[in-house]
Structure 1
Amino acid sequence: MDLNVLKTFLTAAELNHFGKAAERLYISQPTVTVHIKTLEKELGVTLFERTGKKIKLTEAGRSYVTHARKLLEMYEDGLTTLRSFQQGYTTKLNIAVSPLIADNVLPFVLRKYVEIHPEVEISIDIIESEQIENAVLYEKADIGLSCLPCYSKELEATVLYTDKVVLVAPHDGRDFESAYPLEEEELLAAYHVFTHNHPAYWDELARNIQRVYPYSKMMKVSQTHITKRFIAEGLGVSYLPAGTVRRELLEGRLLEVETSAFPLPEAKTFAITKYQHQAQKGFLRFLSQFRL
């Protein structure tokens, strides 16, 4: 079967228009018509109903769309595998990673890993933690590195790291050897609290903050790296996993503030897998040596 014919069929099925399919594929409309007729003859069914210039899939056509996609995917997967072998790779790992985890020491870990394992081709997909479970479940990723556990019985979630959550404030230039310590109550009265930069703990934490400090003002900022930038600019404070601000604290760009009004949560990093193949297990063993 000519794969170009399959591509033409799928494009026409998506657009419901032979002319638009021709434009997208950079071929003539008569060529589209020939491709569709060739496929219909080979399959022995009518794939499209034609009413003037309008077309729509027949029941048989709708049924065949899924099979056509699978055939193209198999072909493209085969090409990818061959190219990988030509480049010296013998194993491939697709990893789905949350932005928060990817923003920490993951680049350092990956650099070390590929130095030791040049035979492994790694593909990184940065997606939100809420999407990682499905990415692994439907085999779009071999490993998921998430801030959330998984709930599917088909998957296994392993806690890689547990990190304390700390209150982080901007550095105001004081001499902290002689100045009095910053107080949580003082900060929450003076600054906005940036919330929901971590997918696991903020709903309960926000309730605790409002219960103890009902006057506090909150602002949702969904990304950790933006939260840190806003804090450094003096726009507010936030409760963040200690590992995500380790460098900023060491360099004095941000300050950690002691808290006691209510217990702070822990932030966990989960490795999510569907299969325990050698490549997955080897990568996770290597990863567990580092703090993300």
Structure 2
Amino acid sequence: MVDLNKLRTFTVVAKEGSITKAAERLYRTQPAISAQLKDIEEDTKLVLFERKNSKIYLTKEGRCLFEYAQERINEIDAVVDCLRNHRQNLEGSIRLGVQFEVTTYLIPDIVHEFKKLHPKVRLEIIGLDHHDLEDGLLNNKVDVGLTVLLKQPSFFEKKAFYTFERSLVASASYLASLPPIKKYADIIDQEIIAGSSRLTDFRVWLKKNGQNQVVKQLDNVSKLVTVKERETIHSLIRKGAGMGFFDSFKLNEPSDEGEIIPVLPESKPITITVDITRRKTRTQNVLMDEFHEFLLERASNFT
């Protein structure tokens, strides 16, 4: 099997009649060009060139391969151009459902990169909590979702898009004002900042660290501030209003509001995975498939 890249190199050398000129045209070194020519001759078990002084001439077999290869390469290039034009000319609307508290910082890059590829496509970013997002996917109010939790996963196909950790932290100034926190139960009497009165992050974190007995005590928490917006939670923690969970990608952001340090640093953080999610049963749609493929291609950059 002859590598297409090497075959392209072969055709350029054949046209130029010179490795030096081919190297200049392809912005490659002469040894690299020579190595590819050698590989092609080894792969095909044919002598394709005759070398006389600094010139290169095609053999009978080389001329035959060149003419065939050039025709095939032109056909491939034409198909690629057609596909690029098709992608550039895609039109329509995509409704992307997201949980803003875990996907906010991902959205600008997704929108910017996709719109560069498909300038005529309209993107609607819909912020929902995980219950409404799942309902939106089930009822076709959302085309694709970036989800964290699914109650009915059997209805969906999903692929990990981004994984991060969430750790219990507080500002250094806030912790300095408290007696030392040495065990998990010590957090119950402190100022707690959370996304809901259910204290879901705290429950998951405590269970992950084998503290089921302390989970039961969360119902006794009295010093509590609940805020849905994670940016506000982060800001309150930085300002020393209490302890709460910080996302790993936010920990190193510059801030004038004070140093953030872990509470019980030996504890295991929560691991959160954001999935690209869509219904298993759906109407075939070229635009939606293109967007889904776009997200899948970028998943490896985040996981």
For Structure 1 versus Structure 2, the TM-score category normalised by the shorter chain is 0.5 to 0.7
Partner of 2:52: none
Instruction: Give the C-alpha shift of residue 98 in structure 1.
Output: 0.8
Instruction: Give the C-alpha shift of residue 96 in structure 1.
Output: 0.7
Deviations 1:55-114 (A, max 9, x none): xxxxxxxxxxxxxxxxxxxxxxxxxxxxxxxxx761321111112134223223322321
Q: Contact between 2:172 and 2:261, CA under 8 Å: does it hold in 1?
A: no
Change (3 A) 1:252 1:202: same
Q: Contact between 1:161 and 1:269, CA under 8 Å: does it hold in 2?
A: yes
Change (3 A) 1:92 1:98: same
Instruction: Give the C-alpha shift of residue 261 in structure 1.
Output: 5.9
Instruction: Give the C-alpha shift of residue 137 in structure 1.
Output: 1.2
Is 1:137 matched up with 2:148?
Answer: no
Partner of 2:203: 203
Residue 280 of structure 1 aligns to which amino acid in structure 2?
F
Partner of 1:259: 264
Unaligned runs of 5+ in 1: 1-87, 175-181
Instruction: Give the C-alpha shift of residue 246 in structure 1.
Output: 3.8
Structure (1 or 2) with the larger CA radius of gyration: 2
Q: Is the partner of 2:105 in helix, strand or coil?
A: coil
Superposed CA RMSD in Å reads 3.9
Partner of 1:268: 273
Partner of 1:240: 246
* Aligned pair partner of 1:278 in 263, 268, 289: 289
The range that moved more, 145-154 or 224-233, is 145-154
Residue 169 of structure 2 aligns to which amino acid in structure 1?
V
Q: Contact between 2:201 and 2:245, CA under 8 Å: does it hold in 1?
A: no
Residue 164 of structure 1 aligns to which amino acid in structure 2?
E
**TM-score normalised by the chain length of structure 2:** 0.52
Distance 1:212 1:282 in 2: 41
Instruction: Give the C-alpha shift of residue 222 in structure 1.
Output: 2.7
Distance 1:184 1:119 in 2: 57
Instruction: Give the C-alpha shift of residue 135 in structure 1.
Output: 0.6
Residue 193 of structure 2 aligns to which amino acid in structure 1?
F
Q: Is the partner of 1:144 in helix, strand or coil?
A: strand
Instruction: Give the C-alpha shift of residue 122 in structure 1.
Output: 0.8
Deviations 1:184-213 (A, max 9, x none): 659948841222369964433367497299
User: Per residue, is there more helix in 1 or in 2?
Assistant: 2
Distance 1:206 1:220 in 2: 19
For this pair of structures, how many residues does the alignment match? 198
